Structures are given as structure tokens and as C-alpha cells.
Amino acid sequence: GKEGVLIKGSNYLEALSQTKTVVFDKTGTLTQGVFEVSAVHHSPMAQEKLLEYAALAECASSHPISKSLQKAAGGALDRSRVTDIQEHSGRGVTAVVDGVAVAAGNGKLMEELGVAWHECHSVGTIVHIRDSHIAVNGEYAGHIVISDVEKPHSRDAIAALKAAGVTKTVMLTGDIQKVADYVARDLGVDEVRAELLPADKVERVEELLKAEPEGAKLAFVGDGINDAPVLSRADIGIAMGAMGSDAAIEAADVVLMDDDPMKIAKAIKISRKCIRIVHENIVFSLGVKLLCLL
């Protein structure tokens, strides 16, 4: 209703009231999922050229990181300059731009291609670029730092969950460990699992479910299409934002109508209040019957 929380049945209401562990998918849930290019560290190639090549290589992808590269490169790109685009799941893309082989992705992709890449000391998602024009440093052209912005209420939301009796908060992300640890520390999350592919998230949730004490429930909060299998697997799947994907909303047991993570603690409090009222009603009605009987 007015709280913007949709619970799909009374059994989910009860399970929600018993939630002791809340697992978050980071992007779009605790962070805004809006990525911005925050730095470009380039080798011999000019910064504009590096951004342009990275954006062109990523031009076929609708991923938020790809979109941020396209925006930083100045928007409209001539896609006819790009051929042979290949996506490497969880690692990046390779393509031919202006007849030159280009790769844009994380350290794993660079290692697969045998490129000597440099570690970046900035906190963010790092997109490394390889360009076969350059013979310096094993064709390494530099890297681009992309930052995801935390939602303003995320830290308060984690504190509110603790206050509502949740004993453990866990964050899952495909991001590198350094970024994940930084965000988790900043928000006050208890545990973090990083560098995960979408399939790994189900495994991590399975592990956490096995570790749950008797009678305690685990809730998973996500917003994307990749989250649908995890939403189904958790005791309670919470889809955040009616703007989230249809698949996530379909797979979820609880749907939060906006993107405010504070709503999670609110939903748990509402469920506990409802269950308490149900128990009070049962006790009251049994008491009345007992009095009549006497």
C-alpha cells in the first residue's frame, strides 16, 4: 500500500518476520548502478583516443559500464568502424576498431590475451585497454577507472536492518575485491564476496543457507535480470524498484516499489508487527472461548 511494499502471500510475510540474514547484490541495490568515468590512466595512446577505442569496442553492449564509456567518449559513435565484436562473460570485450584489434576488460581478460597490464591504485571498476597499434608494454594502452555511486540511504539502511534484529548482512558483487571491500567498509556490511559471475551468486547463497541456524530465514535483495535465479533460491527474494526487470519481479516474493534500501528494514518491521497482531488475535480469541467454556 502506501509504504510501497508488495508481499506476495502470508507465508512470505511470516518468513520475512524471521529474517536473520540479508544478502545484497551490490549494483543497483546498495549503489545507484549509474557509472561514471572518474579517471583515465594512459600509456603512449592519447586519452581521447583511448576512451574512443574503449567506447567503440563496447558499443554493442547495453551494460551500464559500456554506457558510461560511450558517454565519456562524447556520445554518438560511428559503429561502422567496429567489426568482430566478441563478449567474454565477466571479463570484457574484444573487437576490431578501424582495422586494429582492441580489447577492453578486466585483468583476467588481459591475462588471457598475454598482455602485461598495470595495477591501478584508484578505487573503482578498472577497464584495461589493449591495442595492437602499440608495441610498448606488450600492447598495453592504459586503463579507465569507472566509479559506481552509493545510494544516499544505503549506510542508514544497513544500520536499520541491524536495529530490526538482522544478525548478518552480506554483499555479493562481480566487482574486484578492493572495490567491494571499500564499499562494504563504508556501508557497514558484515561480509563481502567479490569477483563473482552471475552463476557464482547462487552458489554463495546456497552456502549461506546451509550455515543458517534452525528457524532463521535468509533474504536476498536484487534488481537485475541476472538476479532471478538467486531471488528464487533464497528463503525470501526481494526485488528492489518497480523499475527492476520483469524477470526479477516475477521471481521475487517481496517487491519494493522504489529504489530506497531503507524499505527493506521497513518491510521486516511491518511483517513482524503483522505476525504479532495475528498471534495476539489467536490468544485473544482462544481466551474468549475459554471464558465462555468456563
> Active-site residue numbers?
25
Q: Helix/strand/coil (H, E, C) string of the chain?
A: CCCCEEECCHHHHHHHHCEEEEEEECCCCCEEEEEEEEEEEECCCCHHHHHHHHHHHCCCCCCHHHHHHHHHCCCCCCHHHEEEEEEECCCEEEEEECCEEEEEECHHHHHHCCCCCCCCCCCCEEEEEEECCCCHHHHEEEEEEEEEEECCCHHHHHHHHHHCCCCEEEEECCCCHHHHHHHHHHHCCCEEECCCCHHHHHHHHHHHHHCCCCCCEEEEEECCHHHHHHHHHCCEEEEECCCCCHHHHHHCCEEECCCCCHHHHHHHHHHHHHHHHHHHHHHHHHHHHHHHHC
User: Exposed, middle or buried, 222 (CB in 10 Å: 0-12/13-18/19+)?
Assistant: buried
Query: What's the order of all strands across the beta sheet hosting 92-97?
Result: 31-42, 140-150, 125-131, 100-105, 92-97, 82-88
**Furthest CA-CA distance within the chain:** 95
